[in-house]
Amino acid sequence: MDKFIHSLPLKFLCFLVAISFAPVLYGQESKITNKPNIIFIMADDHAYQAVSAYGSTLIKTPNIDRIAREGMLMKEAAVTNSVCSPSRAVILTGKYSHMNGMKDNGTYFNGKQQTLPKIFKQNGYRTAVVGKWHLFSTPTGFDYWNILPDQGNYYNPKFIKNGKDTVYQGYVTDIITDQALNWITKNKDEAPFFLMLQHKAPHRNAMPPLKYLSKFNDRIFPLPSNFYDDYSGRIALQKQTITMKDHLDIRYDSKIPCDTCPVNSVNNWAPAEFQREIERLSPEERRIWDAGFQKEYDKFKTLKTKDEVVRFQFQRFMEDYLRCVNSLDDNIGRVLKYLDDKGMAENTIVVYMSDQGFYLGEHGLYDKRFMYTESFRTPMMIRYPNGFKGGKTTSAYTLNLDIAPTLLDLSGIPVPADMQGESMKHLLINGKEKNWRKEVYYHYYEKSFGLTAHYGIKTTRYKLIHFYDINSWELYDLKKDPREMKNIYNQPEYSLIVSELATRLKELQNKYKDSIK
Ligand code: CA
């Protein structure tokens, strides 16, 4: 043995000495293992149009941007099925909806199957989920769970903590962050951890924190250029009922009590839902709420035309949505500061994303679901200082499907062969990946809000969508028509492209074992 050591180069001997003392040299982190901690932060319905790292003109999100700046910003990240519960199931399993069983919001997630937290737990991690769960079945694979029931409430919300109801005082985004940081504090020195920190905000109906009730009052948000899209040539869009102009509710979305309504044409279908939320406020909080919205009540009384009402409701929607996003960004800043203060930033992977994108008036819509860009894409960024150098962006087509394999791979845990996503590890380290997917397969199922099920393929140039329940096809040339306003499926000069794309779509369906209609 001595002879062997004497034969080794001095540098290598120094290295051996260094690693044998590593637990002492690197303190707390190495006391456990060299495995990274993981904080997976997800918002609900946070549009990339409302993230300044994506060039938003609506709002500044300095804390979210910091994750991108110190890590990698995925500019073309997308989801495989743009609706809440299915996206969450895709993230937990690394599998498409038809494989994990959760095709729409009306299904119970089968928690008996293999999931990301279960694999982390099997590999010595402590696991937790705090915040919005929205998978209906009881969470499995978590040492600790403290979740909102179903959609949850914004004000003084009830949580279910490891099976027991608990009501917290305060604003939901702050409380989710408090509970998450408390859990980290209790567990960080015992084992590496995997925490899913899942916000409710800014999901409809966006109820802002009381401290931000006057934020953005100095702004007038312009209608997107395609707000008055007439949906010509696109049957599925003609059938939906998620337009800002006709389907927002005056009380639920705009926060205007109906007894002040001078315009008969406004929707007022949700008094009970709205009432349930604001009745959670204490009398003093309710006084602040009413005072904050008084000028809106007054303004609404002065509106005369339908167009004035539409613009008012758009403005009201944007203000409250962005107030919720502002609070989300503040709280992400708290998490990043916590990691800095505890010296944990280097060895902790931080992911930020939304469960899908969202329309902020583009095509005249709110909500998500369609394969069109605003809801197909999602904000996504990953920071891991010990794992890769920051300051990177990529236009690679990353997916929510890739989160599970990526987090396992970054943690040195083998990725199960049946996961359908790809590990982004080399993309994160090298900034590019030659063999990365060049096209994305999408499949949406839910029939609510007049939507029809559809699948499709997006390539670097085109998007082909089949709304199969109504047998309606759409083709977009994304270079000539990035806003997807002109369906060119039936134009003869594109027939060859249609047939090539249809073949590739079938190949993707075979690859992912999806049934073909
Ligand atoms: Ca959502």
Has residue 16 been placed in a domain? no
Residues 67 and 194 placed together within one structural domain of the fold: yes
Cα(377) to ligand 1 centroid in Å equals 12
| Ligand 1 centroid – CA 316 distance (Å) | 20
Distance from the alpha carbon of residue 256 to the mean position of ligand 1, in angstroms:
25
Has residue 11 been placed in a domain? Answer: no
Residue 214 Cα to ligand 1 midpoint, Å, equals 26
Of 370, 400, 435, the position where a domain reaches its end is 435
Q: Two tokens at 285?
A: 């909080």
- Give me ligand 1 centre to Cα 45, in Å: 4
pLDDT number for residue 275: 81
In a domain, 19, yes or no: no
Give the CATH number of the domain where residue 67 resides: 3.40.720.10
Pull the structure tokens for residue 77. Answer: 């990240």
Same domain as 196, residue 156: yes
Q: Say whether pLDDT at 10 is over 80.
A: no
Q: How far, in Å, from the CA of 387 to the mean position of ligand 1?
A: 29
- Specify if 445 maps to a domain: no
Residue 484 within a domain? yes
Each residue of 382-430: pLDDT tens digit? 999 999 999 999 999 999 999 999 999 999 999 999 999 999 999 999 9
| Statement to judge: residues 311 and 332 lie in one domain | no
CA of 356 to the centre of ligand 1 (A): 6
Tens digit of each residue's pLDDT (9 = 90 or more) over 121-168 = 999 999 999 999 999 999 999 999 999 999 999 999 999 999 999 999
How far is the C-alpha of 499 from the C-alpha of 496, rounded, in Å? 5
Alpha-carbon distance of 387 to 429, in angstroms, equals 7
> CA 375: distance to chain centroid?
10
Q: For residue 203, what pLDDT is reported?
A: 98
Instruction: Tell me, yes or no, whether 236 and 309 share the same domain.
Output: yes
Per-residue model confidence (pLDDT) at position 30: 37
367, 472: one domain = no
What is the CATH number for 460?
A: 3.30.1120.10
- Domain of residue 253 covers 225-317
- Which pTM was predicted? 0.93
Distance (Å) from CA 87 to ligand 1 centroid: 8
Please report, for residues 38, 127, 383, 405, the alpha-carbon distance to residue 425 in angstroms, rounded to integers and kept in the order given: 14, 21, 12, 9
The pLDDT of 318-328, averaged and rounded, is 98
The residue from 317, 334, 359 where one domain ends is 317
Task: Give per-residue pLDDT as tens, 231-253.
Answer: 999 999 999 999 999 999 999 99
Distance 85 CA to ligand 1 centre (A): 7
Neighbours of 349 (CB within 10 A): 23
Q: What is the mean pLDDT of residues 280-306?
A: 94
428 located within any domain: yes
For residues 73 and 186, membership in a common domain is answered with: yes
* Same structural domain, 309 and 362: no
pLDDT for 324-358, tens place per residue? 999 999 999 999 999 999 999 999 999 999 999 99
Domain shared by 306 and 170, yes or no: no
Ligand 1 centroid to 413 CA: how many Å? 29
Residue 15 has pLDDT above 60, yes or no: no
Q: Which of 290, 317, 344 is the last residue of a domain?
A: 317
User: Distances from the Cα of 72 to the Cαs of 51, 77, 214, 318, in angstroms?
Assistant: 14, 12, 34, 28
Instruction: Give residue 118's region: left, alpha or beta (phi > 0; psi -120 to 50).
Output: alpha
* Ligand 1: centre distance to CA 16 (Å): 49
Q: 305 and 276 in one domain?
A: yes
Q: Are residues 79 and 203 in the same domain?
A: yes
CA angle 131, 135, 141 (to 5 degrees): 75
Instruction: Give the pLDDT confidence score for residue 274 in this predicted structure.
Output: 80
Question: How far apart are the CA of 302 and the centre of ligand 1, in A?
Answer: 34
**Cα-to-centroid distance, 290 and ligand 1 (Å):** 28
**Cα 396 to middle of ligand 1, angstroms:** 23
The answer on 132 and 48 residing in a single domain is yes
Please indicate, yes or no, whether residues 406 and 383 belong to a single structural domain of this protein: yes
In a domain, 265, yes or no: yes
Give the pLDDT score at 406.
98
Q: If you measure from the C-alpha of residue 50 to the centroid of ligand 1, how many angstroms do you get, rounded to a whole number?
A: 15
Q: How far is the CA of 283 from the centre of ligand 1 (A)?
A: 31
What sign for the dihedral angle of Cα 125, 129, 133, 135?
positive
Does residue 25 sit within a domain?
no
Q: How many domains in the chain?
A: 3
Which pLDDT score is estimated for 261? 65
Ligand 1 centre from 197 Cα, in Å? 14
Ligand 1 centroid–CA 83 distance in Å is 5
